[in-house]
Structures are given as structure tokens and as C-alpha cells.
Amino acid sequence: MNECVPAAHRGARSTIRATPEVIAEGQTLYTANCASCHGAEGLGDGEAGRSLVPSPALLRWFVQMPMSGDEYLLWAISEGGQRFGTEMPAFREALTEEEIWKIIAYMRAGFP
């Protein structure tokens, strides 16, 4: 999956440490921007995602897989799911890169 990441995002690595404060901020951002489709615990069971085809990604497990590198996650969240044939919106205009990294930190912490 990381092989399809465009040059603009290749080699991207998180710029933040996953401190308790960062994870808490990531949770707030995730709840506001992602949970309606991906569910509160990343199980793809959010109310808004129930009618989507394909269904929202099961982020709880997906972010732990080796193929879910930083560059891939940053790209997918920033640019949305059009390239993958999904209805996930692009968040590059709504969230800063730092906010996206905080969401990723929260997800990688296991949706505490």
C-alpha cells in the first residue's frame, strides 16, 4: 500500500511524540472528524458510515498493520478516499498536518 503513496507524501514521518496530551487532543479531533463514519473505537460502525459502500475502514486494526506507514496514513487522511473508490472526504483543508498526526497518534495508541 505504501508503494502507491504520491511523491508529495513519500517519506513522511510523524512530527509529534505520542504523549498523553497529544493522544487526548487526537481523540478530540478524531471524535469531531472521523468517528461519525469509522466509529468511536475505529470499528467502522459509525452512524454516518452505515450506508457507505465500501464500508469505512476498520481503523482499530488497520493502523497496527505494517502496511499502514506514516506516509500512507497522512496521505489517505489528507487526500481522502477518491483514489480508493471510497467516499472518505479529504481533510487537507479542514485539518492541519499536525492535527492529522495527532489523530494518527490517537489511533495507534489503540483508541484509549
The secondary structure of 13-82 as a DSSP string is ---S---HHHHHHHHHHHHHHTHHHH-TTSSS--GGGTT-SSPPP-HHHHTTSTT--HHHHHHHHHH-SG
Tell me the pTM.
Answer: 0.90
DSSP 8: T
According to the model, what pLDDT value does residue 6 have? 66
CATH code, 93: 1.10.760.10
Below-50 pLDDT ranges, the chain: none
What is the rounded distance in angstroms from the CA atom of residue 21 to the CA atom of residue 84? 32
- Residue 3 domain-assigned (yes or no): no
According to the model, what pLDDT value does residue 68 have? 81
Contact predicate 92/78, CB 8 Å: yes
Q: Into how many domains does the chain fold?
A: 1
pLDDT digits (tens, 9 = 90+) for 53-64: 999 999 999 998
According to the model, what pLDDT value does residue 103 have? 98
- Residue 28 domain-assigned (yes or no): yes
According to the model, what pLDDT value does residue 72 have? 87
DSSP 106: H
